[in-house]
A and B are shown apart, each in its own frame.
Chain A
Amino acid sequence: MPILVVILASIAGAVGGQLSLKRGMNRVGRVGRRSQMVWTRGLSSILLGLGFYGVSTLLWLYTLSKVELSYAFPFVSLSYVAIIFGARFGLQEQLHPSRLLGSLLIVTGVLVVSLS
């Protein structure tokens, strides 16, 4: 399998994992003082999210054993774009301008870091 596919699968796994964890915690409820949480409601999404994350981490370790970090790292910036789309269309979050601008800056920063 081409390394590019492995890298993209790793990024997709990390993004899918975060979306799934967030979906689970939305069902569980807010963690904090005097909160009423129902862990069983979100458990399946949380376990799925952790599973995604585990696979993504293994794929990333495999990637780093094959190519230089400087080759793989720029692809990390894709995850910020994917999270924005996933949060908007998967989780119905409101994309306030500060969130878009901030994420865009972080994407730029990651790309600059990967040039070094």
Chain B
Amino acid sequence: MQLNCVGIPPAEMLTNELDKTKEELREKDNDLKRRDRKEFILESNFALNDLFGTGLICYGDPYTLHLESMLESIRSVNAEIPKDLHIYTTRITDPNAFAWRDGNLFVNIGLFDLLDNDAQLAFVLCHEIIHYTNEHVKEQFIYRKELETTNDSKLLGDKLSAREFQEASNFYSQQLETEADIEGLKLFLNTHYNIQEGIKALERLKSHENSSLHEDIRIYELFGFSDKLKDSIQENFTKLCREISSFINSQQDSIPQSHPALDYRIEYINKYVLEHGFATDTGLILTPAYKQLKESCSYDVFISDYKNHNYELVFYQGWVNHQKNTEYSDFFTEYALRSFYYLMTSYDAGVKKNFVPFDSIGLAQVGYVLGVVMQMEDSKKEHHLAHFIEQITFDELEDGSYFFYCALRDLISKLESSEPKIDWYQTYLDKYISGQYVLLAKNRLK
């Protein structure tokens, strides 16, 4: 897809900035003093015109058309969103989006590259819509003016701390960003997009933030070092990158940021989702996205089984959906994890016996259970893995899965010795490929 403007330019791009300013100044607004208001509107309109004049803004291209349809879809379930919003794609590669005072939203092409799906993009759009609807640009302008005129701090940057100065000179303050996150999330929850996917947008942005230092660059190729030197050069380069990264991370709190730290944003967004029952915790998912889920698989049966403590059924349902590899397999795995946990707890309490997870245990089944167990907290993993291994016998394992059996045993032993983050899989895969387990299995069978 080419990022090229197509068709006749929209009227907003061709509006004369001075005419627009004059027209806006005729309207009344009591929030700002007359002089300040004039400055605010004038600066904003001229800056917008400059932005359009850079040639970085695109209209009518496939990306913008897609964004327009997404905006329409968000608006269809959120009546409070005004209709005078216009959206454009920019040629800027930095993964970001921004909202102008007058309802023009801009999404950088870099954001399309970074985010995984429409749900994440919709989350970002909702955030930007709130910046516009709540007039954050104006609020920030008022805040800046107040700082400039307050007696205690006439000289901005001189008597103010670095953080206060940064807060004032940003497009939006951190407080406004937080507000946009929460309010935007409310808009987003009404849409048909998958919530769990949407809120991952922040994690994707975080991954971009962390990848700013590319320690995997082969530096010796860039500068043509000799073969003798290349290893030591590369090693030093990697070491330097890590040192810089760790230094930046350690200084993160003291460097003024335009947005709140992403970790903090992810945490409170997740907390908000959990508190309001939008997560899978309660099994009550309120969004239209799950209408589709209901149709695609037996959602109601699934949830009622869960609520009626039929954990075995839920566990099997999770398994079936895991095999289908549907869009919602994560959702089912989440329930399967909980069910598995309850099942194992009931074994402990002696309430239930005879739970055999599968009729025949092969590579896939063991992999699934392992995947479920690995999502648990570290302290619970060991216990449940041990339980699981007790349930399966060597005879039940099909040929290939002996590898998993050994891997599980090894995992438990390593968890017992509390070795963090072990690379158990690769070690045992190597052993499996070399045929050690087949030999072991044959010996055991004898």
Q: Do A and B come from one complex?
A: no
